[in-house]
């Protein structure tokens, strides 16, 4: 069948956006009527505060994408040309792309077949080998894949032994927990994505999370073209156009209110697939870590 003649029911979407009346009629309309159409505004401030509270961190910076958040996190840590950064073999390209934006080289560490998450033993082995060679990585970017967290008890201990900072790529895991702590609360900094296929969506968007106020302030500064606090346009360093708009932040606030409902819906969909396909040879399902 030609693509142009396919009906919408022929395609099974990976994760279709789930947007309801509150996003359309309440917060988005409020954002329009407030006059805050361009980036920044009261909904951006509120979205940052509400997300930080939900995840359990002190500060959040709302950005244009999860990729932008990764890029800024790496830059804030001082990652640059000639550096190497460890990350997972099983992830979306953006995780590695952000490392290359800084001029650094991604070094891939494999996942554990039993969990699909970054293998803590392999991380520790790689750090030991690099310490012996005097070539430690500038950072480690973990990945919380498909709604589950990496094994942070073991990974953070291994990284701390060599003073290697950890950035948590929690783009796919908002709403998940690890030993009672929310995804997005681990490492020096963490990032979320609000792309159309994520747990909540702002159409496009992301967020950097951290307990350090200076890092959150630096992220906001770099994300607004690094404009100096002067009465004229003055820029002492390279910045980026990475801030989230007030309109999209309004959508994100409404989406966040229904996060638990969205997590429950995804669990039901998963069980439906497992019930319908679980007995077929050659098909296995992602395990859920205890």
| Domain segments of the chain as ranges | 14-277
Residue 277 in tokens: 């396909």
CATH class of 14-277: alpha beta
Rounded to 5 degrees, what angle do the CA atoms 194, 196, 198 make?
Answer: 55
pLDDT per residue rounded down to tens, the chain (290 residues) = 444 555 556 787 777 667 666 666 656 666 666 665 666 788 899 999 999 999 999 999 999 999 999 999 999 999 999 999 999 999 999 999 999 999 999 999 999 988 999 999 999 999 999 999 999 999 999 999 999 999 999 999 999 999 999 999 999 999 999 999 999 999 999 999 999 889 998 988 999 999 999 999 999 999 999 999 889 999 999 999 999 998 889 889 989 999 999 999 999 999 999 999 999 999 999 988 87
Catalytic residue among 43, 71, 75, 198: 198
Q: Give the model's pLDDT for residue 31.
A: 61
Element (H, E) at 147: none
Q: Give the model's pLDDT for residue 5.
A: 52
Q: Give the model's pLDDT for residue 167.
A: 98
Q: Give the model's pLDDT for residue 27.
A: 65
Q: Give the model's pLDDT for residue 1.
A: 40
Among the listed residues 154, 227, 139, 237, the one whose alpha carbon sits nearest the alpha carbon of residue 190? 139
Number of Cβ within a 10 Å radius of residue 56: 14
Alpha helices in the chain (DSSP H): 21, 28-34, 42-55, 66-76, 93-101, 120-133, 152-161, 213-223, 246-257, 259-277
DSSP three-state, residue 268: helix
Q: How far is CA 229 from the centre of its chain?
A: 29
Does the annotation count 198 as an active-site position?
yes
């Amino acid at each position: 069948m030609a693509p142009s003649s396919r009906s919408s029911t022929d395609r099974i979407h990976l994760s279709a956006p789930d947007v309801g009346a509150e996003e359309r009629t309440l917060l988005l309309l409020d954002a329009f009527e407030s006059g805050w159409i361009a980036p920044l505004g009261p909904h951006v401030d509120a979205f940052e505060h509400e997300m930080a509270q939900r995840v359990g961190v002190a500060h959040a910076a709302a950005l244009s994408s999860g990729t932008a958040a990764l890029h800024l996190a790496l830059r804030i840590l001082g990652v640059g040309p000639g550096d190497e950064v460890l990350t997972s073999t099983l992830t979306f390209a953006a995780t590695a792309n952000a490392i290359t934006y800084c001029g650094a080289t991604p070094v891939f560490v494999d996942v554990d077949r039993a969990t699909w998450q970054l293998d803590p033993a392999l991380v520790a082995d790689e750090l030991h080998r690099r310490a012996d060679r005097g070539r430690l990585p500038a950072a480690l970017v973990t990945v919380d894949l498909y709604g589950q967290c990496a094994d942070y008890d073991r990974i953070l201990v291994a990284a701390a032994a060599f003073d290697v900072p950890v950035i948590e790529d929690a783009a796919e895991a908002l709403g998940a927990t690890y030993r009672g702590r929310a995804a997005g609360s681990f490492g020096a900094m963490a990032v979320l994505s609000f792309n159309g296929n994520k747990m909540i969506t702002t159409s496009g968007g992301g967020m950097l999370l951290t307990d350090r106020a200076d890092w959150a302030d630096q992220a906001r500064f770099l994300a607004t073209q690094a404009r100096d606090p002067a009465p004229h346009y003055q820029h002492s360093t390279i910045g980026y156009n990475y801030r989230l708009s007030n309109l999209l932040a309004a959508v994100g606030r409404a989406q966040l209110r229904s996060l638990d409902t969205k997590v429950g819906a995804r669990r039901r969909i998963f069980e439906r697939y497992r019930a319908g396909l679980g007995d077929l040879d050659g098909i296995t399902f992602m395990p859920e870590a205890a």
